[in-house]
Structure 1
Amino acid sequence: MNSFGAGAVIVLAVAIGIYYQQYFGDETPTARRAWLTLLNNDEYVPGVLALARSLKRVKSAYPLVVMITLDTVSQEGQQLVLDEGCQLRPIETLLPKQDKKNLAFERFIHGWTKLRAFQMIDVCDKCVMMDADIIVLQNMDELFELEDNPNFAAVQTCICNPAKNPLYPDYWKPQNCPYTHEQHSHSSAEVDSRGRMFNGGLFLLHPNQTVFEEMLVALNTWDLSLFKFSDQDFLNKFYHTTWRRLPYVYNTLKTFSKTHPYLWNETKIKAIHYILAKPWDKLDPDNAAYEEINRLWQEAYDWREQTTAQSPTNI
C-alpha cells in the first residue's frame, strides 16, 4: 500500500472513531446494564432531557441509551440529547403491516418501535425500558438486582380511565381496577381478569434476537386491531403468563393522584409517568389539573449537574 493509501485508511479510521464516540458515547457499547428510552420525534426531546437529568440527579450508576430514528428527529434535537450525555442507538421505525386505525390515540402508532429494545443485545444483557414522559424521583438501580432475575417485569396498570375516553376498552372502569380492589382489601378474584395487565411505560427486559424474531412473527399473525394500546397490549399478550409484577412506585401514573390518592406519596414514589397531557406542553388545558405534579417534572428538566471548579495547581 502506498503512503497515500495508508494515510487515507488512517483518516477513515479516525473519522469512524469520532462518529462512533459521538453517537455511542465514551462508554463501551457492551455495557451490561442500561436504561433505555425511545426518541422518534422532536416533540419528546424535552421528555428525554428531563428523564436523563432525573437519572443523573439520583446518581444512577447506569447510562441512559436513547434509541433514535435519525430520519424523524432533527439535527438540533439529536445534538441536544448528545449534549446531555446520552448514548444514541440509531434504529429504524418498526410498523406492522396491518391497519392501525383502532388505536386509542394516533400517537400510539410510534409505540411499535419500542419493541426494538429487544434487539439491543450490543447495549446490555439487562435493560429497563422507559417512556420519555417519565422522570425518576429516587434511585431505582435495584431493578437490575431482582433476586429471581425475571425475563420480563413491569408495573400493573390502572384501568380507571379517569378521562372517560370512549376509545378505551369498555371494561376500563374504577370498579374493575385492581388498585381499587386492593385499597378496599377485596379479593383479587373479584376483579375482571382482563384488568390484570401491566403498563408498557416501564419494563425490565433481557435483549434477545430470537425473542425479537418471535415478536415479528406475532406482529404478522395476530389480530392487531384488538390492540388499542399498540405495544402495551402486544406485550401483555406476549408475556401473558410469565411477566413479573413490580411495585407501583416504579411507574406511578400521574393520574394516581386522582384515581388512587391513598397511593400518592412522593416520599415513596420512585418514578412518575406523565401519561395523557405532557408537562412540557404549556398550551394543553388538561395540564391545569396537574400543576403541582407537573412542577416535579419541571424541576427535573431544570436540574443541572453541579461541577466543582478545581483550583489551579501551585508550582
Structure 2
Amino acid sequence: MSLRAFLSRSHKNYVLLGHESGRPERRLTLRLAILLLVFAVSLGLNAFFYFRDLWSWPRPLDDYQGLNHSPLLDSLHPASAQRNAIVTTLYSDSYAPAVATLGHSLQRANTTARMLVLYFPERISQAALCLATSSGFTPHPISRIPPPRNGAGMNPHFMDQFTKLTLWTLDTLGIDALVYMDADMLVLRNFDEVFTLPYKFAAVPDVFLDSRGFVPEFNAGFLYLKPSTDVYNAMIEALPTARFPPEYAEQAFLNQFFSLSVVRLPYVYNGNLAYKKRSPKMWEGIHDELRVIHYTIAKPFVGRHFKELKWDDLDKQVVHAAKRDGGVFREEMEKWGQMWDETRIAYDQAHEDCWAE
C-alpha cells in the first residue's frame, strides 16, 4: 500500500505538505497583488485630487489681468457714520429667519450703521420679507445679475451670487461705505471700527479643507467696500472675458478684480466654521475676539439641500446641526439657536403680523 493510500484511509483530513503547499502560496501572492493594486489606486486618486485642486484655483496674481483701475484710497469720501451701511441679501424665502436673526444680532451689538437687505421682489414672498425685515433691515429690491457663460461650470447654488456686484451701485442711495454680510452669519460684537478704513476694499482670507488649507485669497462672505457705480460698470464690462475658476462664482471674480488692492482683514471678522474644522487650535486662538460667525459648513436654519423649514421647526434643525460632525460645531449652533429665540421674543408681534399677511 502506498503512503498516500495509507494516509487517506487513516487520516482523511490530512493533507500531504509536499503536494498541496502551493495553494497557500498562491493565495498569499494574490493577496499581495490586491493590496498593491489598492495602494496604487489610492496613491493615484490622491495625486489626482491634489493636482486637480492646484489646477482648479489659479492664483489671481499668477494670472494677473489688470481689471481694476480705480485708486487704492478713497480720499473723496471721508468716513461718516450717517452714511455707513451693513448690507445682506435675500435670494430665497428659506433664508428669511437667518436675515432676521442677523439683524437682531446687529442690534444687540449696537451698530451705528444703517441696515439694508437686497432682495428679488419676484421671488420673495411677503411673509418672508416681513420676517427678514422685522429686526431692522430696510428692504431694497434689486434685479438679478446672471452669471457669465450661462453659469457653465458653476455650482447651481451659486447661480444668483453675481448679483452681489449690485453692492457697488449703492452710492446712489447716499452710502459712502458698507459692510456686506452673507445672511448665514451671526454678529457677536460691534465691528464699526471697520468703517474707519481709508481703503476701498477689504476682506478676510479664506480656507479650504483639502490640501490647499489657508490661502491668501479672500472669502466673499464679509466684505468692506466703498460703493462706486463707476467700479460697478468696470466689473460688468470685465465679467464676460475675465478668467477665473467658475466653481467659485463671484468670489473668484472678485479675487481677480481686486487682486492688487484688497486689504486683508483679521480672521475675527469672518469666523468661517471651516477654520474650526481645519484647525481647532487656530479657532481657539481667535475665539475670544470673534466679531462674526459664518455658518458655512453647517447651517442651523435650513434643511437638507437648503430646504425651507417652517419657523416652528427651526429648533429641531438647530439640535440636528449641533450633532453634525460629532458635535464639533455644537457651541456655534446653539449660539444661533439662542439668538433666534431672542429674535422671536423681541419681534413677536411683528412676526404675528407676518403670518397674517
What's the secondary structure of 2:150's corresponding residue?
A: coil
* Cross-structure match for 2:74: none
The answer to whether structure 1 residue 270 and structure 2 residue 320 are counterparts is no
What's the secondary structure of 1:220's corresponding residue?
A: coil
- What amino acid does structure 1 have at the position aligned with 2:333? N
The answer to whether structure 1 residue 70 and structure 2 residue 121 are counterparts is yes
Give 1:229 shift. Answer: 1.3
Q: Which has the higher contact order (CA 8 A, sep 6+)?
A: 1
- What amino acid does structure 2 have at the position aligned with 1:270? R
Identity score, percent: 31
Contact 1:36 1:66 in 2 (8 A): yes
- What amino acid does structure 2 have at the position aligned with 1:75? Q
Contact 2:111 2:190 in 1 (8 A): yes
Return the match for 2:238 from 215, 218, 232. Answer: 218
Distance 1:283 1:98 in 2: 28
Give the alignment's Cα RMSD to 1 decimal. 2.1
What's the secondary structure of 2:180's corresponding residue?
A: strand
Give 1:216 shift. Answer: 0.5
* Cross-structure match for 1:261: 280
* Cross-structure match for 1:301: 340
- What amino acid does structure 2 have at the position aligned with 1:227? P
Give 1:137 shift. Answer: 0.6
* Cross-structure match for 2:144: 93
* Cross-structure match for 1:199: 219
Distance 1:123 1:251 in 2: 26
Contact 1:31 1:123 in 2 (8 A): no
Return the match for 1:279 from 268, 288, 300. Answer: 300
Deviations 1:253-300 (A, max 9, x none): 112222111122432111011113321135577761323221111122
* Cross-structure match for 1:22: none
Contact 1:202 1:251 in 2 (8 A): yes
Return the match for 2:204 from 122, 145, 155. Answer: 155
Contact 1:279 1:294 in 2 (8 A): yes
Select the structure that is richer in helix: 2
* Cross-structure match for 1:133: 184
* Cross-structure match for 1:244: 263
Unaligned 5+ segments in structure 2 are 1-80, 306-319, 348-357
Deviations 1:28-83 (A, max 9, x none): xx951010111111011111111101101111111220011111111111111232
Contact 2:83 2:174 in 1 (8 A): yes
Contact 2:95 2:301 in 1 (8 A): no
Cα pair distance change 1:222/1:247, threshold 3 Å: same
- What amino acid does structure 1 have at the position aligned with 2:246? F
- What amino acid does structure 2 have at the position aligned with 1:156? P
- What amino acid does structure 2 have at the position aligned with 1:160? L
* Cross-structure match for 2:213: 177
- What amino acid does structure 1 have at the position aligned with 2:200? N
Cα pair distance change 1:119/1:239, threshold 3 Å: same
Give the number of the structure whose alpha-carbon radius of gyration is greater: 2
Distance 2:321 2:99 in 1: 21
Contact 1:249 1:269 in 2 (8 A): yes
What's the secondary structure of 2:207's corresponding residue?
A: coil
Contact 1:57 1:303 in 2 (8 A): no
TM-score relative to the length of structure 2: 0.64
Contact 1:32 1:124 in 2 (8 A): yes
Distance 1:111 1:31 in 2: 28
Contact 2:204 2:265 in 1 (8 A): yes
- What amino acid does structure 1 have at the position aligned with 2:297? L
Contact 1:55 1:136 in 2 (8 A): yes
Give 1:113 shift. Answer: 0.7
- What amino acid does structure 1 have at the position aligned with 2:291? K
TM-score relative to the length of structure 1: 0.73
